[in-house]
Amino acid sequence: MPTVASAAPPGAEPATRGDVQTPPPVAAAEESDDGSARVITVQAVEIRGHQHVSERQIRTALTREGLRVGSEIVWPTDARVQRVRQRLRATGFFKVVTVGLEPVPEREDAALLVVEVEERSTVSIDRLYLGSSALTPFRGGISILERNFAGRGVLLGGSFIWGSIPRVERGRRQQAYNVFAEAPQVADSNIGVLGGAFVISAGEPYRVTGAYDDPRPRHFRTFDYTRTGGLFGVTFPVLPQLRLGTDYRFERIDALLPAAPAYLDADGTATPVDLDVLDGTHRLTVATVALAYDGRRNSVLTGKGAQIGVDVQLSSPALGSQYEYMKLVAVGAYTLRLPWRHWLTPRAQAGQIVGDAPRFEQFYAGDLSAWTPGREQSLRFSTRNPIDVFGTGIDTREFGTAFGRFDLEYVWPVFRRTRTRGVYGGDLFVSAGVFTLVEDAPGRAARREAGERVAPTGFNADLGLRLDTALGTVKLTIGNVLRRSPL
């Protein structure tokens, strides 16, 4: 054996010399395929192992590939079989999907087509509410989604959030409960229906003293209101990737407002505070039209995909409401794959409210910032405003009637698996962007008078790992930590 050179890499071994006459153990049958293919007629289709998923759903997947009683299959390599497996696996309902043939006695040209599935739980955790703030020492809750209720493809969800007693004078506990259901397809039609109900018990903080950028709870008081209501609606697929939805939300609001809420500035001057909620028991009804285009379904194949959403809400006495306003929110995102297979997503959002929307329907600064607690289940558990990176005064803003936001997200797919439990995939991501929030007309006038910016600019950035798991998407990000910490 020769000496291995000094620069040899660790573990380097010489190729041993075999017998020249030794034939490879591979025979040399000349066949275009492996020579076993033959046509088998499906005599019957049998589906085994399903419990919650309906047989109809599985048969639909088979039918779409033309696999039904009487059809012919090229055994053992029919591409449709693999496609059916992929199609069924992609639903996320199954741990194991097997499509096989079982011989029929005394027939070589016919067989039983057997689909055997092992279901996995279709319950996922949509959101986990957990955090602490200077205002509310603890808040916790969970949002759970069942994606295939009763095996009919019905989405059924429920959520709750519960906060401890806030650290303000006469503050009450905030909590919210919400259930909803959506059937994306009713019978064989393409129309979907949805409905839901909720109870929200809020102790909304409002500032009474201190500088506008001072988040300490002692500068705040709260006013209480309870919202009880529900919604129902329908959805229509205009195009395969374009859905139109419309719903009607109705709620009863019991609000207990302070007699004369006022802000006392450093000079001792009292300024009345408009809480933007009617006093006593009253109604809010909202009609919504939502248009959603999701072209990202094929982005893995095409390397690009757009997503557009437009949401128009109208509340009017003509609809039975005691508020009158219109709210428009639009969002657009475009995802593209870079040559080195990472993904870039520019995303823009904007919104405008016309009229007198209640405070809980207005745009909130915390919802725009990646580092500041936003509203959870429509409840505000923190008095912290966005961090003013540019020195434009964004940390003095809470609510507004218009906003704009632009983000750029860079995603590095780290791994992707076809596992049916545990972690399916993980992405590292980094994002950066800017946003602005504009107050209502009196607020804008006051800002102009004080020589402040009407539309201050805030900065957003985030960095973290996003895991796609059997229980849902888990984000381990810097922003997530900041939003949940009592800073």
Partner 1 sequence: MKRRPLLIGLAAAPLVAFARPESLSTRKARVEEVGASVLMTLELPTLIKARDTDALKSIDSSFDTTLRYSLRVWEHGTRELITSRVVVVKIRRDPWKKRYVVSTRAEGKWTKRFFETRDAAVAAATTLRRQKVAAVGQLERTEDGPYYFVEVLALRNPLAETDAAGGTARGRGGDRDLEWFSRIVDVLAGERARAEKVVHVRTNPFYLLP
The span from the CA of 311 to the CA of 376, in Å, is 20
Task: Select the residue interacting with partner 1 from 137, 248, 468, 478 (CB under 8 A).
Answer: 468
d(CA 394, CA 212): 10
Q: Output phi, psi for 340, to 5 deg.
A: -95, 20
258 lies in the binding site for partner 1 (CB under 8 A): no
Residues 389-408 that bind partner 1 (CB under 8 A): 403
Task: Map residue 331 onto helix, strand or coil.
Answer: strand
Would you give the binding string for partner 1 spanning residues 59-88, x where CB under 8 A is met? --x-------------xxxxx-xxx-xxx-
Check binding of 260 to partner 1 (CB under 8 A). Answer: no
Partners of 354 in beta bridges: 326
Rounded distance, CA 102 to CA 114, Å?
7
**Nearest partner of 380 among 392, 363, 394, 404, judged by Cα:** 363
- Asked if 105 is part of the footprint of partner 1 (rule: CB under 8 A), the reply reads no
Give me the 181-220 binding string for partner 1, x by CB under 8 A, dash otherwise: xx-xx------x-x-xxx----------------------
- Whether the CB-CB separation of 211 and 169 falls below 8 Å is answered with no
Q: Examine residue 341 and tell whether it contacts partner 1 (CB under 8 A).
A: yes
The bridge status of strand 399-400 relative to strand 363-364 is antiparallel
Does residue 466 touch partner 1 according to CB under 8 A? yes
Q: Which of 41, 54, 63, 91 binds partner 1 (CB under 8 A)?
A: 91
CB-nearer residue toward partner 1: 100 or 320: 100
Q: Between the CA of residue 305 and those of 236, 296, 309, 337, what are the distances in Å?
A: 21, 4, 14, 9
In the complex with partner 1, the residue whose CB is nearer, 206 or 363, is 363
Nearer to partner 1, 32 or 269 (CB): 32
DSSP assignment, residue 390?
A: S
Residue pair 193/232 in contact by the 8 Å Cβ criterion? yes
In the bound state with partner 1, the residue whose beta carbon lies nearer, of 356 and 468, is 468
Residues 110-149 that bind partner 1 (CB under 8 A): 111, 114, 116, 118, 126, 145, 147
State the minimum distance, in angstroms, from the CB of residue 299 to partner 1: 7
How far apart CA 417 and CA 400 sit, in angstroms, is: 43
Instruction: Pick one of 103, 317, 320, 422: the residue that binds partner 1 (CB under 8 A).
Output: 103
For the segment 262-291, give every residue that binds partner 1 (CB under 8 A): 286, 288, 290
